[in-house]
Each structure stands twice: as structure tokens, then as C-alpha cells.
């Protein structure tokens, strides 16, 4: 068996891709602008469970370089999330921004809280986006901002880069 097959199994790639396909179908059915933040959040929260293997101790003692693999895994989540959300009616710029930011938040979440609670930060970003009274703060409601919003783009890039660097360098928190 090839190493990439074992890696895909240990990271639950089949379940992740199935959930992302389900969110893509939900986006097509719902078809409105609020479906994209919900769809990207659903995809990323399901995928965050695969950011650590079945045995975290085994991952730590493996004789391979994990930072490039971790970075590729998080970038892959962002790309698959973006691809799953592209069939929606929302401009592609907003879809890419949301996927990048949510994947970064999942990376930070797994680094800070471990596998069990890696979904918390992407979900918190979705909740904050729809809290009443915060619509006037574009950086706080970045998931629902239009495609040309500079504060939303800056927030998403900051989350994406922070998540990529922290997860790549540190990995999943020991629980």
C-alpha cells in the first residue's frame, strides 16, 4: 500500500470529501448569499477532524518532515472548500476569501484546542457574522461581506496565514 493511501485513510479523507460534496449540493439547493458562509463553515469544520491522524503520538515520532505535509493538508482543505462552494451564485472572490479564512481558523483551532475542538473557531466566526448589531464592523462579519470588501479580505488573509503558520509549525495540540 502506498504512503498517500495510508495518509488519506488516517486523515479521514473519504468522509471529508463526502461532507464537502454534501455542502456543495446544499449550496445549490439553497442558492442564496447566506448559504456560502454556512457551506464553507460546514466543509471546514468536518475537515478539521482530519488535521490530526488516528494516533497523534505516532505522528509526533514519525521520521518524516511534518510541516510541509501539514501545510499541504491545510491548503488542500481551503482549495476543496472553495471548489465545493463555487457552484453558488456568490462571486468567486468571496468564496475563495471565505474558504481561506475558515481553513486558517481551523488550523489555529486545532493548534490551540486539539482535534476535538478544532471546529470551534470557524463556527465562532460564523456565529459572530450573524450576531445582530455587528454588521457595521466589516472585519468582524467578514464571512458575509461582499467580494470587494478590503477589511474582510484582510481579516481572511490574516486568519489564513496565521492558521497555516501555526498548524504547520506546531501541529495539533496534545489532549
What confidence tens digit (pLDDT) does each residue in 124-147 have? Answer: 999 999 888 877 888 889 998 988
Q: Which grid cell is 66?
A: 511534518
Q: Which residue has the higher pLDDT, 118 or 59?
A: 118
Give residues with Cβ within 8 angstroms of 175, minimum separation 6: 56, 114, 115, 116
- Distance from C-alpha of 71 to C-alpha of 14, rounded to nearest angstrom: 19
Would you say the pTM of this structure is higher than 0.75?
A: yes
Q: Which residue has the higher pLDDT, 67 or 53?
A: 67
Helix or strand (DSSP H, E) at 128: helix 120-129
Instruction: Tell me the pLDDT band of 62, cut-offs 50, 70 and 90.
Output: low
What are the sequence ranges of the domains in the chain?
Answer: 3-170
Amino acid at each position: 500500500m502506498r504512503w498517500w493511501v495510508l495518509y488519506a485513510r488516517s486523515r479521514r479523507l473519504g468522509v471529508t470529501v463526502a461532507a464537502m460534496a454534501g455542502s456543495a449540493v446544499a449550496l445549490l439547493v439553497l442558492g442564496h448569499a447566506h448559504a456560502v458562509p454556512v457551506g464553507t463553515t460546514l466543509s471546514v469544520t468536518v475537515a478539521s477532524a482530519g488535521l490530526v491522524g488516528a494516533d497523534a503520538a505516532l505522528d509526533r515520532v514519525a521520521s518524516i518532515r511534518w510541516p510541509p505535509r501539514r501545510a499541504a493538508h491545510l491548503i488542500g482543505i481551503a482549495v476543496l472548500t472553495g471548489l465545493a462552494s463555487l457552484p453558488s451564485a456568490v462571486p468567486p472572490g468571496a468564496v475563495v476569501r471565505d474558504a481561506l479564512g475558515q481553513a486558517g481558523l481551523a488550523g489555529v483551532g486545532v493548534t490551540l484546542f486539539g482535534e476535538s475542538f478544532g471546529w470551534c473557531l470557524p463556527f465562532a466566526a460564523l456565529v459572530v457574522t450573524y450576531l445582530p448589531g455587528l454588521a457595521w464592523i466589516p472585519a468582524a462579519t467578514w464571512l458575509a461581506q461582499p467580494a470587494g470588501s478590503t477589511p474582510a479580505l484582510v481579516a481572511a488573509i490574516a486568519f489564513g496565514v496565521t492558521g497555516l503558520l501555526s498548524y504547520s509549525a506546531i501541529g495539533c495540540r496534545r489532549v
